Amino acid sequence: MSLPEMKARYVTKTTNKTFADLGLSSTLLLTLEREGYTNPTPIQAQAIPILLNGNDLLGIAQTGTGKTAAFALPIVQGLMRNRIIPAPKSVRTLILSPTRELASQIAQSFETYSKGLGLHIATIYGGVKYGPQYKALARGVDVLVATPGRLIDHIEQKTVDLRGVEFFVLDEADQMLDLGFVKPIRQVAAKLPHKRQNLFFSATMPKEIGALASELLTEPKRVEITPEATTAERVEQSVIFIESLRKRALLTEMYAEDSLARTLVFTRTKRAADKVAAYLQAGGIESAAIHGDKNQSQRERALQAFKAGKLRALVATDIAARGIDVDNVSHVINYELPNVPEAYVHRIGRTARAGRAGISVTLCADDERKFLKDIERITRQRIPSFDRRKDQALKLLDEAMLASGVADKPATPDRLPEHRKKGDPKPGKGWRAGEGEARHSDPDAEFVHKRQRNRPGQKDRAKARAEGGRPGGKPFGDRAAPAPRPDRYDPMAAERGPMASTKPFKAAKPARDERFFDDRPREDRPRNDRKSDQPRGERRGDRPYGDRPHGDARPGARKGPGGFGGKGGKPAFFKGPKSGGKPFKGERPAEGEINRSEGAQFKRRKQS
């Protein structure tokens, strides 16, 4: 059977079906109708009934044929059929994806299909902080979309428990193989329970993925909508032969046409992506780069600006090719051919999505012809080609661009302000796909200024303020002044009668002795005035200093017959000079023989 006949067989087999014929619940049918989905795609029409019966599935379909909905709808119905609250750190559905962008888009699809059902959906991937992911996993999740690397980190830290997984989905399995995720996948599969439903989806199925599928799947049903590595039907493909040094000039020349409004440019390396994006920015073309070396914030900002139509070109590598799902992509330009022929299928699959048409242009240098032959062999077609080598106009354009100055790295677009439409669900509960998150934790905070501006009487109050009157709209001149209130108002004075005369209040006594305070400025006091300057502990009273030759005894000290704490009138706390090594116990020594280095309590105070 030829390839066109095979495609026609699958198309005619499923075009007459609707979602109601697939066995979906009424709740999901209403959700699909609200989102504008009427007829299922071929992969959806064949995969959904198999998954609803509880069988394992191995699906092969082109990129952009609706594979996400093919496994998301049966999983949502299975979770609602057995509605339980997940235990802390537990997961009911685990979905592995190769890239961060693809993981985010799968989670958004689940939020769309499960709107209003109360399912907890979480996404974990690298490049971001662990804190929010810890909180999301701590209470348990119904659907977890993760990349293999970050999921292994959470398993090692024991922040996630996979023993309760009911559905295990491996999306873009061939890309997992290219990125070297086969070993992490086996590590994750070892933590899963034996009784579960497994789903494998991919655009191509290499032998290694087939071997992995045989290990993890149990008697799977195979659904193959089109043969392996076949390109989308509505993509118009072409090849332009050009020198490597003239590719940038040719790319800039192509953007002189207005038809290239939203294009994806694919390179083989990260450095080449930065160079191409910087070259396009120097030529006045709105562009940005996205690859693995960009942090998550830069990647989100670039993808957000591209979806909003602020960029005409988004330069990406093959790793990011799987995660870019943008509507109305008119052109896909292969600036460099991929090393793996199957990656060409995923690249051009970014356009001509959902039944639309698209254009693919490949810039091929002489050293890339072997890659082109591999692509034509695996796709089983001959791609039309054009020759632009030795073009002097491109040479002059490239020299002029380099002379004007080209930056080493491109600039990243700013984050666009996103406004949630009134009536939309709160973030995290059925948020619209592609519209981002609200700017406030309170979902209604964005509309406060609108309510304040549009409330009744606002214009009259503004006019009154402009005329210098009261904000209420009535100036003070038209209002009678209120009667003065008496100083001492007594509401019971009329019933009680005149009060008896009372004696005037006496002046309050000072809280402390006045001798401790002095209103004189500090500079006007005598030098020997210690009423307020002396330390708090030295204020002993008005007794003259001469009556206290050795100072007052310490509070609570035991006094002897002589008035001091020692026996026989000798001060027990006084020690003489240590020349002999023993404390002085005789009579008081002369003034010059007293050792005053022991502390301030042994110094004699002069009389004031």
Q: What is the pLDDT of residues 468-526, one digit of tens each?
A: 655 554 555 555 666 666 556 566 666 666 655 555 555 555 555 444 445 555 555 55
The pLDDT assigned to 238 comes to: 93
Predicted confidence (pLDDT) at residue 231 exceeds the cutoff of 50:
yes
CA proximity to 82, closest of 93, 72, 71: 93
Compute the distance between CA of residue 99 and CA of residue 148 in angstroms, rounded to an integer: 9
Average pLDDT, the chain: 75
Predicted confidence (pLDDT) at residue 198 exceeds the cutoff of 90:
yes
Region 235-404: CATH code: 3.40.50.300
Query: What is the mean predicted confidence (pLDDT) over 85-109?
Result: 91
The pLDDT assigned to 57 comes to: 92
Compute the distance between CA of residue 242 and CA of residue 245 in angstroms, rounded to an integer: 8
The pLDDT assigned to 38 comes to: 82
Domain with CATH 3.40.50.300 in the chain: 3-224, 235-404
Letter string b/e over residues 238-264, b meaning 16 or more CB atoms within 10 A of that residue's CB: ebbbbbeebbbbbbbbbbeeeebebbb
The pLDDT assigned to 491 comes to: 66
Predicted confidence (pLDDT) at residue 531 exceeds the cutoff of 60:
no
Q: Which pair of structure tokens corresponds to residue 579? A: 């020349």
The pLDDT assigned to 9 comes to: 35
Predicted confidence (pLDDT) at residue 84 exceeds the cutoff of 60:
yes
The pLDDT assigned to 482 comes to: 62
* Most distant pair of Cα atoms in the chain: their distance: 130
Predicted confidence (pLDDT) at residue 133 exceeds the cutoff of 80:
yes
Number of H helices, E strands in the chain: 20, 14
Query: What is the mean predicted confidence (pLDDT) over 372-379?
Result: 89
Predicted confidence (pLDDT) at residue 606 exceeds the cutoff of 70:
no
Q: What confidence category does residue 14 fall into, taking pLDDT thresholds of 50, 70 and 90?
A: very low
Name which residue leads in pLDDT, 459 or 388.
388
Of 87-96, 240-249, 288-297, 360-369, which gets the smallest average pLDDT? Answer: 288-297
> Which CATH number does the domain 3-224 belong to among 3.40.50.300, 3.40.1190.20, 2.40.110.10, 3.30.230.10?
3.40.50.300
Compute the distance between CA of residue 585 and CA of residue 574 in angstroms, rounded to an integer: 9
Name which residue leads in pLDDT, 260 or 322.
260
Predicted confidence (pLDDT) at residue 400 exceeds the cutoff of 70:
yes
Name which residue leads in pLDDT, 548 or 3.
548
Of 8-12, 85-89, 410-414, which gets the smallest average pLDDT? Answer: 8-12
- List pLDDT tens digits, range 449-480: 444 455 566 667 777 666 665 555 455 555 56
